[in-house]
Amino acid sequence: MYGYGGDSWGMTGWIAMAVLMVLFWSGVVIVIVVLLRRPHPGQGTPDMRPSHYEAERILHERFARGEIDESEYLARHAALRRPE
């Protein structure tokens, strides 16, 4: 008979509310942590490309600067593309 409606859930209602409150605040904390840990634009994320792309980029730069001639460029480029 205590309460507003007479049909109170008693102790079960209080336990359910406490569990739901803990779940809610846990969810809020998890969302905040996920948002803070994800990489943001401009934050230098690690490059996930294979390492031979870096080697090809350097080879292209050396050829463009004139450090190596065309035959050496083609030979090294073919060596980089050759499966190991």
Residues in Cβ contact with 16 at an 8 Å cutoff, skipping those fewer than 6 apart: 9
Contact by Cβ (8 Å): 77, 52? no
Mean pLDDT across the stretch 63-80?
Answer: 91
Alpha carbons 60 and 73: distance in angstroms, whole number: 8
pTM above 0.85, yes or no: no
CA distance 48 to 68: 28
Determine the pLDDT at residue 44. 57
pLDDT in tens, 7-55: 667 888 889 999 999 999 999 999 999 998 887 666 655 555 566 788 8
Nearest to 80 by CA among 53, 61, 62, 41: 53
* Domain ranges for the chain: 1-44, 51-81
Over 80: is that where the pLDDT of 80 sits? Answer: yes
C-beta of residue 59 within 8 angstroms of C-beta of residue 81: no
